[in-house]
A and B are shown apart, each in its own frame.
Chain A
Amino acid sequence: MITGERKDLEELMEIVKTYNSLAVVGCDGCVGIYQIGGFKEAESLASLLKMGDKIKNGVVQDAEAFTVIRQCDKELIEKELGGKLDKFEAIVSTACGVGVQTMAAVFEDKVVYPALNTLFMGAQDREGAELYELCKGCGDCVLHLTGGICPMTRCAKGLLNGPCGGAVDGKCEVGDYTNDCAWVLIYEKLKSMDRLDLYTTFRLPRDRRPSMSPRKLAGGAKY
């Protein structure tokens, strides 16, 4: 799922300080499930903005929370919010960057501000409730060659022929030796699968075009 982190309140207050009324819109998709930007978070952000602004003698009088099942879907936005946001001067979205831009495409005459810093595509581990980046959407998946562990994302250097010389005791040089070296994981996994032939195969330089932005996809999946 897509993850992110709420911007500092100070920064958000600075962004919205000239508006009398704000609609704070959450998303029940990825960021809602991870309790980063769902309805509850939108509600609490709305009251924080009102309160914070009051302390600073600002102009924000009204801030009301809403939510959409998925802010990355124009039709859902129109269906759930159509007409409801007319009275607000500006919109603050607690969705990912995709949601913010999709909202802006629907509410063309309003400004939509991001409340989150969108981070990455990842998943939660069961124990620590931490979120880990697992895929970069590189456009040319190699998971079938690497024991199901993504070297483009989980190796800090995105190496295809790892490991580099920077791993110590199986930990990566990036992140103060707290993250597992992806290439040590790949080695262990392929070894346990009796597929070290995949490990010893030299991989040619990548064609980076499938990962170059901006990308687009013809409507409908290719099946």
Chain B
Amino acid sequence: MKKIKEGKFVFTGELEPEKTTDLTELVESAKKLLGHCVACNVTDNPQSMAYMSSLVASHIVQRDSGMECVYQLRCSDRNSIALTSDLLGAGALGIRNVLALTGDHTSLGDYPGSMPVFDLDSGQLVYLIRRMVDEGVDLNGKPIEHPPRFHVGVAGNPNADPLDSEILKLKRKVEAGAEFVQTQVIFDIEIAKTFLKEMEKYKVPVLIGIFPLKNYGTADYFDKYIPGVHVPKDLLAKMKEASEIGDKKKKMERYDEINLDYYGDFVHEIAHNTSAAGIHVMAVAYERITPPLIECAKI
């Protein structure tokens, strides 16, 4: 956040703790991104899958890798008491950044019958965090002995239709005190540009979310099952072609080449010709692509 405030164009990464108690791999991934990304998001039960706590994972990753974490926190699974309590815990563990998310509906995950909470929404979670940080009080104004210090960000959806409803909604989140906006995955640079233009009036740093495709399976899954976003057809076709290469090493090299080919110009353009504050690279378990991708931005 400090770097963003200094006006530096930044890159952030993404780490996904899964159904495990072992974070060795995640810590390794974080180490590989050190020096390339200024921080990494640690996802909170993405798609409502019951995974390891993002708070615990954020702490362990920060402690064992030195990577600064953006602790993702969803409203789907916690009421305002639990959110307050986790935020106090995060403060104690030295977490500095929180991404306030409404979260996917619980019925979408692997506990589809569990209770959807949504006591607060993401905007109200920002409000809670602001009260804790700025005023040193909880939701109802009760003083906190040692208030936490967080930067708080929110998600934005440039693929929304109508876009206007999304932009106006983000106005609320910014007014509630969001300090940065991180977008959902974008493949089309024009969509990114339109969104950034619309957001300029709020004067809040925007990080553009991209999703490098690790292999054809990921690309195909993403295209079919992540609603509202489609992998461009020619990119998907290239990935499919690459998947037929027999030699494993060559195949991986070809995947990397396709990604750098596709995203190289994209990141360069975003870095040099838009108002974006940075790029959020959601290369989960594919961190080898991030450094060369950052190279392409030539900053």
A184-197: contact bitstring with B at CB < 8 Å (1 yes, 0 no)?
Answer: 10011000000010
Closest Cβ neighbor of A187 among chain B residues = B165
Residue of B nearest to A206 (CB): B119
Are A163 and B169 closer than 8 Å at their CB atoms?
yes
Asked if A165 contacts B172 (CB within 8 A), the reply is no
- Given A165-B184, A168-B227, A173-B104, A157–B169 Cβ distance below 8 Å? no
Which B residue's beta carbon lies closest to that of A196? B168
B116, CB-defined interface residue at 8 Å: yes
Asked if A208 lies at the interface with its beta carbon under 8 angstroms from chain B, I say: yes
A160 near B105: Cβ-Cβ < 8 Å: no
Number of A-B contacts (CB under 8 A): 88
- Structural contact, B118 and A161, CB atoms closer than 8 A: no
B124 proximal to A (CB < 8 A): yes
User: Which listed segment binds A: B11-19, B53-61, B156-164, B249-257?
Assistant: B156-164
Known: A164-B102, A173-B227, A205-B139. A200 touches B171 (CB 8 A): yes
* Contacts known (A165-B184, A173-B104, A202-B176); A159 close to B118, Cβ less than 8 A: yes
Are B108 and A173 touching (Cβ within 8 A)?
yes
- Segment 8-31 of A: residues with Cβ below 8 Å from B: none
Q: By the criterion of a CB under 8 Å from any partner CB, how many residues of chain A are at the interface?
A: 31
- Complex: chain A residue closest to B118, CB-CB: A157
Question: Which residues of the other chain, B, contact A157 by a CB distance below 8 angstroms?
Answer: 76, 102, 105, 116, 118, 121
Q: A58 contacts the other chain (Cβ, under 8 Å)?
A: no
Q: Are A163's CB and B166's CB within 8 A?
A: yes
> CB of B148 within 8 A of chain A?
no
In this assembly, does B217 line the interface, its C-beta being within 8 Å of a C-beta of chain A? Answer: no
Is A167 close to B, CB under 8 A?
A: yes
Interface of A is mostly: loop
- Measured in the bound complex, the distance between the Cα atoms of B225 and A177 in whole Å is 12
Q: Check B105–A205 contact: CB distance below 8 A.
A: no
Q: Verify if B120 is at the interface (C-beta below 8 Å from A).
A: yes
User: Are B165 and A183 in contact, CB atoms less than 8 angstroms apart?
Assistant: yes
In the complex, per-residue mask of B100-136: 1 if CB is within 8 Å of any chain A CB, else 0: 0010110110000000101111111001100000000
B105 engages A174 (CB within 8 Å): yes
CA distance A161 to B101 in the complex (A): 12
The answer, yes or no, to whether B89 is at the interface (CB within 8 Å) is no
Some 22 contacts from A to B, beta carbons below 8 A apart, are: A156-B116, A157-B102, A159-B118, A161-B124, A161-B169, A163-B160, A164-B102, A165-B184, A166-B105, A166-B227, A167-B160, A167-B228, A168-B161, A174-B108, A187-B164, A187-B165, A200-B168, A200-B171, A205-B80, A205-B120, A205-B127, A208-B119
Question: Which residues does B use to contact A, with CB under 8 Å?
Answer: 76, 80, 102, 104-105, 107-108, 116, 118-124, 127-128, 139, 155-157, 160-162, 164-166, 168-169, 171-173, 175-176, 184, 227-228
